[in-house]
Amino acid sequence: MSGWVKIAGLGPGNEALVTPEVTAALTEATDVVGYIPYVARIAEREGLTLHASDNRVEIDRSQHALQMAAEGKRVVVVSSGDPGVFAMAAAVFEALENGPNTWRDVQIEVLPGITAMLAASARAGAPLGHDFCAINLSDNLKPWSLIEKRLRLTAQADFAMAFYNPRSKSRPEGFVKTLEILREECEPERLILFARAVSRADEALRISTLAEATPDMADMQTVVIVGSSLTRMIERDGPPIVYTPRFTPAKDQV
Protein backbone atom coordinates (compact mmCIF):
# COMPACT_ATOMS: atom_id res chain seq x y z
CA MET A 1 0.00 0.00 0.00
CA SER A 2 1.34 3.42 -0.96
CA GLY A 3 1.21 5.91 1.88
CA TRP A 4 0.79 9.65 1.74
CA VAL A 5 0.67 12.79 3.84
CA LYS A 6 -1.94 15.47 3.27
CA ILE A 7 -1.53 18.66 5.29
CA ALA A 8 -5.03 20.04 5.66
CA GLY A 9 -6.60 23.28 6.84
CA LEU A 10 -9.78 22.91 8.86
CA GLY A 11 -10.76 26.56 8.48
CA PRO A 12 -11.58 28.98 11.29
CA GLY A 13 -14.07 26.78 13.15
CA ASN A 14 -17.40 26.38 11.37
CA GLU A 15 -17.67 23.01 9.65
CA ALA A 16 -19.32 24.68 6.65
CA LEU A 17 -15.99 26.37 5.94
CA VAL A 18 -14.05 23.10 5.63
CA THR A 19 -13.36 22.49 1.92
CA PRO A 20 -14.70 19.37 0.15
CA GLU A 21 -11.08 18.47 -0.69
CA VAL A 22 -10.18 18.30 3.00
CA THR A 23 -13.34 16.34 3.83
CA ALA A 24 -12.45 13.79 1.14
CA ALA A 25 -8.91 13.41 2.49
CA LEU A 26 -10.21 12.79 6.00
CA THR A 27 -12.55 10.12 4.62
CA GLU A 28 -9.60 8.29 3.04
CA ALA A 29 -7.19 8.69 5.97
CA THR A 30 -5.98 5.89 8.22
CA ASP A 31 -4.41 8.35 10.67
CA VAL A 32 -4.93 11.97 11.67
CA VAL A 33 -2.16 13.93 13.40
CA GLY A 34 -2.45 17.34 15.01
CA TYR A 35 -2.74 19.67 17.97
CA ILE A 36 -5.27 18.43 20.55
CA PRO A 37 -8.16 20.88 19.88
CA TYR A 38 -7.89 20.43 16.10
CA VAL A 39 -7.86 16.63 16.25
CA ALA A 40 -10.90 16.87 18.55
CA ARG A 41 -12.84 18.26 15.57
CA ILE A 42 -12.38 14.99 13.66
CA ALA A 43 -15.13 12.39 14.09
CA GLU A 44 -13.97 8.96 15.23
CA ARG A 45 -14.68 6.03 12.93
CA GLU A 46 -13.53 2.47 12.39
CA GLY A 47 -10.16 2.29 10.65
CA LEU A 48 -9.08 5.77 11.72
CA THR A 49 -6.51 6.43 14.45
CA LEU A 50 -6.32 9.91 15.97
CA HIS A 51 -2.92 11.13 17.19
CA ALA A 52 -3.41 14.29 19.27
CA SER A 53 -0.42 16.08 20.78
CA ASP A 54 0.28 19.25 22.72
CA ASN A 55 1.37 22.59 21.33
CA ARG A 56 5.03 23.34 20.48
CA VAL A 57 5.83 19.80 19.31
CA GLU A 58 5.27 20.50 15.64
CA ILE A 59 8.47 18.84 14.46
CA ASP A 60 7.84 15.67 16.48
CA ARG A 61 4.31 15.60 15.09
CA SER A 62 5.62 16.05 11.55
CA GLN A 63 8.24 13.33 11.91
CA HIS A 64 5.59 10.94 13.20
CA ALA A 65 3.34 11.70 10.21
CA LEU A 66 6.13 11.21 7.67
CA GLN A 67 7.26 7.96 9.25
CA MET A 68 3.73 6.54 9.25
CA ALA A 69 3.30 7.52 5.60
CA ALA A 70 6.64 5.88 4.73
CA GLU A 71 5.22 2.70 6.29
CA GLY A 72 2.20 2.86 3.97
CA LYS A 73 -0.36 4.75 6.03
CA ARG A 74 -2.57 7.54 4.73
CA VAL A 75 -1.97 10.44 7.08
CA VAL A 76 -3.74 13.77 7.36
CA VAL A 77 -1.93 16.44 9.36
CA VAL A 78 -4.56 18.93 10.51
CA SER A 79 -4.22 22.64 11.24
CA SER A 80 -6.81 25.29 11.88
CA GLY A 81 -7.27 27.87 9.16
CA ASP A 82 -4.84 27.31 6.31
CA PRO A 83 -1.91 24.93 6.92
CA GLY A 84 0.49 27.20 5.04
CA VAL A 85 -0.19 30.27 7.20
CA PHE A 86 1.70 30.05 10.53
CA ALA A 87 0.75 26.38 10.73
CA MET A 88 1.82 22.81 10.03
CA ALA A 89 2.86 22.82 6.36
CA ALA A 90 6.20 24.53 7.02
CA ALA A 91 6.85 22.24 10.01
CA VAL A 92 6.31 19.12 7.89
CA PHE A 93 8.70 20.39 5.24
CA GLU A 94 11.30 21.27 7.88
CA ALA A 95 11.07 17.69 9.14
CA LEU A 96 11.24 16.37 5.59
CA GLU A 97 14.35 18.39 4.73
CA ASN A 98 16.19 17.21 7.85
CA GLY A 99 14.88 13.64 7.91
CA PRO A 100 15.97 10.43 6.20
CA ASN A 101 16.08 10.38 2.39
CA THR A 102 13.37 7.71 2.29
CA TRP A 103 10.83 10.29 3.43
CA ARG A 104 11.37 12.25 0.23
CA ASP A 105 9.64 9.51 -1.72
CA VAL A 106 6.44 10.03 0.29
CA GLN A 107 3.56 11.69 -1.60
CA ILE A 108 2.82 15.00 0.15
CA GLU A 109 0.04 17.47 -0.61
CA VAL A 110 -0.99 20.71 1.06
CA LEU A 111 -4.77 21.22 1.10
CA PRO A 112 -5.62 24.88 1.61
CA GLY A 113 -8.17 26.16 4.09
CA ILE A 114 -9.77 29.47 4.98
CA THR A 115 -7.37 31.21 7.30
CA ALA A 116 -8.57 33.37 10.18
CA MET A 117 -7.57 36.72 8.68
CA LEU A 118 -9.64 36.04 5.54
CA ALA A 119 -12.64 34.90 7.56
CA ALA A 120 -12.36 37.98 9.77
CA SER A 121 -11.94 40.29 6.80
CA ALA A 122 -15.03 38.83 5.14
CA ARG A 123 -17.09 39.28 8.29
CA ALA A 124 -16.17 42.96 8.53
CA GLY A 125 -16.30 43.79 4.82
CA ALA A 126 -12.99 44.02 2.97
CA PRO A 127 -10.28 45.62 5.17
CA LEU A 128 -7.69 43.58 3.23
CA GLY A 129 -9.02 44.87 -0.10
CA HIS A 130 -5.67 46.38 -1.09
CA ASP A 131 -2.03 45.57 -0.27
CA PHE A 132 -1.64 43.93 3.14
CA CYS A 133 0.70 41.73 5.15
CA ALA A 134 0.35 39.17 7.95
CA ILE A 135 2.58 39.14 11.03
CA ASN A 136 2.71 36.56 13.79
CA LEU A 137 3.25 38.54 17.01
CA SER A 138 4.50 35.50 18.95
CA ASP A 139 8.19 35.68 19.79
CA ASN A 140 8.46 31.94 20.47
CA LEU A 141 10.30 31.29 17.20
CA LYS A 142 11.78 34.69 16.41
CA PRO A 143 13.18 37.59 18.47
CA TRP A 144 11.00 40.53 19.46
CA SER A 145 13.50 42.90 17.77
CA LEU A 146 12.59 41.38 14.40
CA ILE A 147 8.87 41.70 15.10
CA GLU A 148 9.34 45.37 16.01
CA LYS A 149 11.34 46.03 12.84
CA ARG A 150 8.66 44.43 10.67
CA LEU A 151 5.88 46.33 12.44
CA ARG A 152 7.60 49.68 11.88
CA LEU A 153 8.48 49.04 8.24
CA THR A 154 5.00 47.74 7.46
CA ALA A 155 3.36 50.74 9.11
CA GLN A 156 5.68 53.13 7.28
CA ALA A 157 4.84 51.43 3.98
CA ASP A 158 1.13 51.93 4.79
CA PHE A 159 0.04 48.32 4.44
CA ALA A 160 -3.07 47.00 6.09
CA MET A 161 -1.88 44.46 8.66
CA ALA A 162 -3.26 41.20 10.03
CA PHE A 163 -1.85 40.04 13.36
CA TYR A 164 -1.89 36.42 14.48
CA ASN A 165 -1.26 35.32 18.08
CA PRO A 166 -1.47 38.88 19.39
CA ARG A 167 -1.65 38.30 23.12
CA SER A 168 -1.34 35.31 25.45
CA LYS A 169 -1.32 34.94 29.21
CA SER A 170 2.39 34.11 29.16
CA ARG A 171 3.39 37.13 27.05
CA PRO A 172 0.79 39.89 27.43
CA GLU A 173 3.43 42.59 26.98
CA GLY A 174 3.86 41.92 23.24
CA PHE A 175 0.57 43.49 22.19
CA VAL A 176 1.16 46.42 24.55
CA LYS A 177 4.40 47.10 22.66
CA THR A 178 2.65 46.58 19.33
CA LEU A 179 0.09 49.30 20.05
CA GLU A 180 2.85 51.63 21.23
CA ILE A 181 4.79 51.12 17.99
CA LEU A 182 1.70 51.67 15.85
CA ARG A 183 0.90 54.88 17.72
CA GLU A 184 4.39 56.13 16.93
CA GLU A 185 4.01 55.33 13.23
CA CYS A 186 0.31 55.79 12.41
CA GLU A 187 -2.41 58.38 12.85
CA PRO A 188 -4.71 57.92 15.90
CA GLU A 189 -7.86 57.46 13.80
CA ARG A 190 -6.47 54.35 12.07
CA LEU A 191 -9.18 51.66 12.12
CA ILE A 192 -8.55 48.37 13.92
CA LEU A 193 -10.73 45.26 13.80
CA PHE A 194 -10.63 42.78 16.68
CA ALA A 195 -12.18 39.53 15.42
CA ARG A 196 -12.50 36.78 18.01
CA ALA A 197 -13.59 33.19 17.31
CA VAL A 198 -14.79 34.02 13.81
CA SER A 199 -17.42 31.57 12.47
CA ARG A 200 -17.88 29.90 15.87
CA ALA A 201 -20.79 30.25 18.29
CA ASP A 202 -18.92 32.75 20.49
CA GLU A 203 -17.84 34.97 17.59
CA ALA A 204 -17.29 38.61 18.53
CA LEU A 205 -16.22 41.50 16.28
CA ARG A 206 -15.18 44.89 17.56
CA ILE A 207 -14.14 47.92 15.52
CA SER A 208 -11.93 50.46 17.21
CA THR A 209 -9.45 53.18 16.37
CA LEU A 210 -5.78 53.11 17.22
CA ALA A 211 -6.35 55.84 19.79
CA GLU A 212 -9.11 53.86 21.54
CA ALA A 213 -7.59 50.36 21.28
CA THR A 214 -6.46 48.64 24.47
CA PRO A 215 -4.39 45.47 24.88
CA ASP A 216 -7.20 43.55 26.56
CA MET A 217 -9.27 43.70 23.35
CA ALA A 218 -7.16 40.81 22.00
CA ASP A 219 -6.32 37.28 23.09
CA MET A 220 -5.00 34.14 21.39
CA GLN A 221 -8.37 33.49 19.73
CA THR A 222 -8.39 36.97 18.20
CA VAL A 223 -7.15 38.08 14.81
CA VAL A 224 -6.36 41.77 14.74
CA ILE A 225 -6.62 43.64 11.44
CA VAL A 226 -5.17 47.15 11.30
CA GLY A 227 -6.28 49.15 8.30
CA SER A 228 -4.10 51.29 6.09
CA SER A 229 -4.43 55.07 6.11
CA LEU A 230 -7.09 54.71 3.39
CA THR A 231 -9.24 52.11 5.17
CA ARG A 232 -12.68 53.48 5.93
CA MET A 233 -15.93 52.54 7.64
CA ILE A 234 -19.44 52.74 6.17
CA GLU A 235 -22.08 53.38 8.82
CA ARG A 236 -25.52 51.86 8.23
CA ASP A 237 -28.50 50.42 10.11
CA GLY A 238 -26.82 47.03 10.53
CA PRO A 239 -23.20 46.37 11.48
CA PRO A 240 -20.82 48.86 9.85
CA ILE A 241 -18.68 47.82 6.90
CA VAL A 242 -14.91 48.28 7.00
CA TYR A 243 -13.07 48.23 3.70
CA THR A 244 -9.87 49.38 2.03
CA PRO A 245 -10.34 50.90 -1.44
CA ARG A 246 -8.67 49.21 -4.40
CA PHE A 247 -6.87 52.38 -5.50
CA THR A 248 -4.21 54.63 -4.03
CA PRO A 249 -4.30 58.29 -5.08
CA ALA A 250 -1.25 59.47 -7.03
CA LYS A 251 -0.36 61.95 -4.30
CA ASP A 252 0.30 59.05 -1.92
CA GLN A 253 2.62 57.23 -4.32
CA VAL A 254 6.36 57.37 -3.67
Q: What is the tens place of the pLDDT at every residue in 128-137?
A: 999 999 999 9
Rounded to two decimals, the pTM is: 0.91
Backbone phi and psi for residue 119, each to the nearest 5 degrees, phi listed first? -65, -40
151 CB-contact burial (10 Å; exposed 0-12 / middle 13-18 / buried 19+): buried
Radius of gyration, CA atoms only, the chain: 20
Residue 152: how many CB atoms within 10 A of its CB?
14
Kindly state the average pLDDT of the residues 65-86: 97
Task: Answer whether residue 253 shows pLDDT above 80.
Answer: no
Kindly state the average pLDDT of the residues 233-249: 93
Model confidence band, residue 178 (pLDDT cutoffs 50, 70, 90) = very high
The CA–CA distances, whole Å, from 51 to 37, 65, 68, 117 equal 11, 9, 11, 27
pLDDT at 153 (0 to 100)? 97
Q: What is the pLDDT of residues 182-205, one digit of tens each?
A: 999 999 999 999 999 999 999 999
CA distance 143 to 138: 9
Model confidence band, residue 251 (pLDDT cutoffs 50, 70, 90) = low
Q: What is the pLDDT of residues 86-105, one digit of tens each?
A: 999 999 999 999 999 999 99
Contact 35, 138 (CB under 8 A): no
Amino acid at position 203, single letter: E
Model confidence band, residue 173 (pLDDT cutoffs 50, 70, 90) = confident
- According to CATH, the topology of domain 4-114 is Cobalt-precorrin-4 Transmethylase; domain 1 (3.40.1010)
Domain ranges (residues) in the chain: 4-114, 117-252
Same fold, 4-114 and 117-252: no
Q: What is the pLDDT of residues 12-44, one digit of tens each?
A: 999 999 999 999 999 999 999 999 999 999 999
% of the chain residues with pLDDT over 90: 90
- The sign of the dihedral angle between the CA atoms of 12, 18, 24, 26 is positive
CA distance 196 to 116: 9
Burial profile 114-139: b = 16 or more Cβ within 10 angstroms, e = fewer: bbbbbbbbbbbbbbbbbebebbbbbb
Contact 160, 245 (CB under 8 A): no
The chain-wide mean pLDDT, for the chain, equals 94
- According to CATH, the topology of domain 117-252 is 3.30.950
Spatial CA neighbour of 253 closest among 130, 142, 138 = 130
pLDDT at 194 (0 to 100)? 97
pLDDT at 168 (0 to 100)? 78
